């Protein structure tokens, strides 16, 4: 008999579900080695070892040279604990997997079936298991349900999915070469000029994405509003007051608007036409990850990254299918009827599911987008085996309701449009009512079937205009992006991937390039984009990024080789880095000014309440090394105001005034106690009252 089967899962939760599904009794033994969990199962006399990874255990790194060297084109793959700070725990995982691999003679990758999952499994099998990538099998599944996991195991592919692996390797390698070289070029220029180490990052996707936000902000700041007028009219008919719409949505001159008011106000209008039409609205398409992120932001305010994290938690709990998909299709193989039957066992969905099950045929209304690896996102029908947190409950309910709505009938609405003539001008009444709810019934409360019922009206009927006013309006600038609309724009321009776009947006916030939910470029974001555009426009070029994305997609389809795409990517970035190197001093001067301004803003607490003309800054004493707040006028001999600070923890200006006295405040985070707000005023009435702020 052979030694056994080693199955590599992507995460601990997934490993446990795989082991439980494959074990003959459904009760695998959980073991620990060096604190790393793994599971021992038995299936038809075969010994199974199911061991999880912790996401990526290996990463791209430079083959030689120091941390500040650039350009770097010689790269290698190495354990994360050797390449990254803060990744020391991955050493134990790799050592444990390596030891367990010696107890097996059959190897299977059961990581998520996408580019990242395929790459995670490949690297572990290649490096930790001693070149077992050449003989390993591949389990492919879209849910962590027992039925699908057993099927994936029994029908495992005889080899790994190498086109996906090669595409994953290429993407990581290209992103490393672009990201590390460009970030080092900018950071090094600052260090050499100012002596300060301040990370200024950019990358193949980050640069163009920031440019989108900056360009939109420029549009907004340069926008000049122009006035126009809108007619606000009310009529009285059959004892009801109704809003009437003027034939022109906007009027360019006040004179024309005033003429309408003078001629129509208080007059009798005559109904000239009454038209009804029926509008059928098709059910929504199933969720892919982009659609889910957009809908969760619209309904719950969840950022794309948060939605992805919640969806992954639901997937690992076997409640939904794999979320990182671009598909809007639900193939027959998922057994939609079986899922609806399972949902019918849950009190919250019983009535709706039974309505769908009464249909002779259950067919989804699908979208156009496809994904070769996974179907659209759908609930598995499995009841939760743990208490979902409020955010998980919201997203799970949304996914279930969307799934059911795709199988429902179209909704039918009747629209009514009434034309009224008053003194030669046209006005309209608009009404609507729902004739058949169709899919709306299944997607509530996430869709509103609003009705506006008009009283009976007929041609020739008189209508009294009880109000006609001219309202002055102004044209508005284009709206700022929010995380959801920016992600959609990245999708439209085909930059980044369904797995990375949300992380790129999150990075813009972390680098302080953007702020607020309605994304405004910060001064730092503006300045970095301007410098990049001046010294190397290619860095913020959407076209270059899109072309590279297209080439890497071709690797996945087997139409390109990783080596060729990587070589061409290096050829593209070389002249960019040469230009930055040649102008390093000029680049450093401009970036140093930016950094100096940023650091000053980070230390600025607010106006000095003592002298009224200075600015308070967080300073550090050269003699004692202690932190304190002092006034900028001290150096001019005009103010001696200073205030002590806690010497432990992080301190940041809040930008807000104390509600008790109006003095500037600071946010303090110290280990071992909750964050608090510190008012600088020693005589603050809130302090005197013993209030803990």
Model confidence at 690, in pLDDT bands (50, 70, 90)? Answer: low
Whether 635 has a pLDDT exceeding 90, the answer reads: no
- The rounded percent of the chain whose pLDDT value lies above 90 is 69
Active-site residue set:
322
Q: Which residue has the tokens 């079937």?
A: 449
Whether 692 has a pLDDT exceeding 50, the answer reads: no
Name the residue with higher pLDDT: 187 or 196.
187
Q: Mean per-residue pLDDT for 9-18?
A: 94
Model confidence at 688, in pLDDT bands (50, 70, 90)? Answer: low
Name the residue with higher pLDDT: 239 or 432.
432
Q: What is the pLDDT of residue 212?
A: 96
Six-digit token string for 91: 């050493």
CA distance 383 to 367: 27
**The three-state (H, E, C) secondary structure of 644-692, written as one string:** ECCCCCEEEEEEEECCCCCCEEEEEECCCCCCEEEECCCCCHHHHCCCC
SS3 of residue 604 by DSSP? strand
pLDDT digits (tens, 9 = 90+) for 57-82: 999 999 888 877 888 999 999 999 99
- 188 φ/ψ angles, rounded to the nearest 5 degrees: -65, -40
Model confidence at 693, in pLDDT bands (50, 70, 90)? Answer: very low
HSE, CB side, 13 Å, CA atoms: give it for residue 440. 15
Q: Which domains does the chain have, with CATH numbers?
A: 5-160 (3.40.50.140), 170-221+480-592 (1.10.460.10), 227-283+411-474 (2.70.20.10), 289-405 (1.10.290.10), 607-688 (no CATH)
pLDDT digits (tens, 9 = 90+) for 556-608: 888 999 999 999 999 999 999 999 989 989 988 888 888 888 877 778 888 89
Give the alpha-carbon dihedral of 500, 501, 506, 512, to 10 degrees: 110
Model confidence at 316, in pLDDT bands (50, 70, 90)? Answer: very high
CA distance 49 to 33: 13
Model confidence at 277, in pLDDT bands (50, 70, 90)? Answer: very high
CA distance 275 to 255: 32
Q: What is the pLDDT of residue 182?
A: 92
Q: Mean per-residue pLDDT for 48-52?
A: 96
Least confident span in 166-170, 294-298, 687-691: 687-691
pLDDT digits (tens, 9 = 90+) for 658-673: 888 888 888 888 777 7
Instruction: Give me the residues paired with residue 313 across strands.
Output: none
Model confidence at 1, in pLDDT bands (50, 70, 90)? Answer: very low
Whether 368 has a pLDDT exceeding 80, the answer reads: yes
Q: What is the pLDDT of residue 536?
A: 86
Q: Mean per-residue pLDDT for 527-535?
A: 90
CA distance 19 to 38: 9
Mean pLDDT estimate for the chain: 91
CB 511 within 8 A of CB 179: no
pLDDT digits (tens, 9 = 90+) for 79-91: 999 998 889 999 9
CA distance 242 to 420: 13
Six-digit token string for 406: 């795709």
- 585 φ/ψ angles, rounded to the nearest 5 degrees: -65, -45
pTM of this prediction? 0.84
Compute the C-alpha angle 84/593/199, nearest 5°. 5
Q: What is the pLDDT of residue 539?
A: 87
């Amino acid at each position: 008999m052979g030694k056994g089967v080693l199955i590599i899962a992507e995460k601990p939760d997934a490993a446990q579900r795989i082991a439980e599904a494959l074990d003959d009794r459904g009760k695998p033994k959980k073991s620990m080695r060096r604190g790393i969990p793994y599971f021992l199962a038995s299936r038809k006399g075969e010994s199974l070892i199911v061991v999880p990874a912790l996401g990526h255990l290996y990463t791209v790194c430079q083959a030689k040279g120091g941390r500040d060297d650039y350009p770097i084109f010689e790269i290698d793959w190495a354990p994360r604990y050797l390449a990254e700070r803060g990744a020391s725990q991955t050493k134990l995982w790799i050592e444990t997997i390596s030891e367990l691999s010696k107890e097996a003679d059959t190897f299977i990758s059961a990581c998520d079936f996408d580019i990242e999952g395929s790459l995670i499994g490949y690297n572990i099998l290649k490096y930790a298991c001693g070149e077992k990538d050449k003989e390993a099998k591949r389990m492919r599944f879209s849910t962590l349900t027992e039925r699908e996991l057993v099927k994936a195991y029994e029908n495992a592919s005889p080899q790994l999915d190498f086109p996906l692996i090669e595409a994953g390797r290429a993407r990581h390698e290209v992103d490393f070469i672009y990201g590390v070289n460009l970030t080092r070029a900018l950071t090094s220029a600052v260090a050499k000029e100012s002596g300060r180490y301040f990370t200024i990052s950019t990358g193949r996707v980050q640069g163009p994405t920031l440019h989108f936000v900056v360009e939109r902000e420029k549009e907004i700041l340069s926008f000049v509003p122009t006035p126009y007028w809108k007619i606000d009219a009310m009529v009285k008919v059959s004892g009801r007051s109704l809003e009437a719409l003027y034939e022109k949505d906007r009027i360019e001159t006040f004179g024309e608007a005033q003429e309408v008011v003078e001629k129509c106000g208080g007059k009798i209008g005559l109904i000239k036409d009454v038209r009804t039409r029926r509008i059928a609205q098709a059910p929504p398409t199933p969720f892919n990850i982009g659609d889910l992120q957009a809908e969760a932001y619209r309904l719950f305010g969840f950022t794309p990254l948060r939605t992805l994290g919640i969806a992954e938690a639901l997937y690992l709990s076997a409640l939904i299918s794999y979320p990182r998909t671009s598909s809007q299709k639900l193939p027959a193989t998922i057994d939609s009827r079986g899922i609806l039957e399972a949902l019918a066992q849950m009190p919250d969905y019983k009535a709706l599911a039974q309505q769908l099950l009464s249909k002779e045929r259950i067919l989804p209304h699908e979208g156009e987008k496809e994904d070769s690896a996974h179907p659209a996102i759908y609930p598995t029908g499995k009841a939760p085996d743990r208490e979902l947190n409020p955010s998980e409950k919201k997203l799970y309910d949304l996914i279930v309701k969307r799934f059911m709505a795709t199988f429902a009938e179209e909704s039918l609405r009747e629209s009514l449009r009434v034309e009224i003539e008053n003194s030669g001008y046209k006005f309209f009444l608009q009404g609507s009512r729902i004739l058949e709810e169709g899919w709306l019934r299944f997607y509530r409360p996430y869709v509103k079937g609003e009705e506006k019922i008009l009283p009976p009206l007929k041609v020739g009927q008189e209508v009294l205009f009880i109000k006609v006013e001219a309202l002055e309006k102004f044209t508005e600038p284009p709206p700022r992006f929010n995380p959801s609309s920016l992600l959609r724009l990245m999708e439209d321009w085909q930059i980044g991937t369904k797995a990375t776009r949300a992380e790129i947006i999150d990075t813009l916030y972390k680098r302080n390039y953007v702020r607020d939910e309605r994304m405004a470029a910060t001064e730092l974001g503006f300045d970095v984009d301007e410098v990049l555009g001046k010294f190397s426009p290619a860095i913020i070029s959407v076209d270059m990024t899109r072309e590279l994305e297209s080439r890497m997609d071709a690797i996945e389809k087997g139409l390109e080789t990783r080596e060729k795409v990587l070589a061409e990517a290096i050829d593209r970035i070389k002249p960019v880095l040469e230009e930055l190197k040649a102008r390093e001093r000029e680049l450093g001067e401009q970036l140093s000014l930016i950094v100096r301004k940023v650091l000053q803003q980070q230390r600025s607490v607010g106006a000095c309440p003592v002298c009224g003309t200075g600015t308070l800054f967080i300073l550090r004493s050269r003699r004692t090394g202690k932190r304190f707040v002092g006034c900028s006028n001290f150096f001019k001999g005009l103010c001696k105001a200073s205030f002590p600070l806690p010497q432990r923890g992080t301190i940041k200006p809040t930008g807000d005034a104390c509600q008790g006295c109006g003095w500037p405040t600071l946010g303090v985070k110290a280990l071992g106690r909750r964050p608090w707000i510190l008012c600088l005023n020693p005589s603050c009435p809130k302090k005197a009252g013993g209030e803990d702020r």
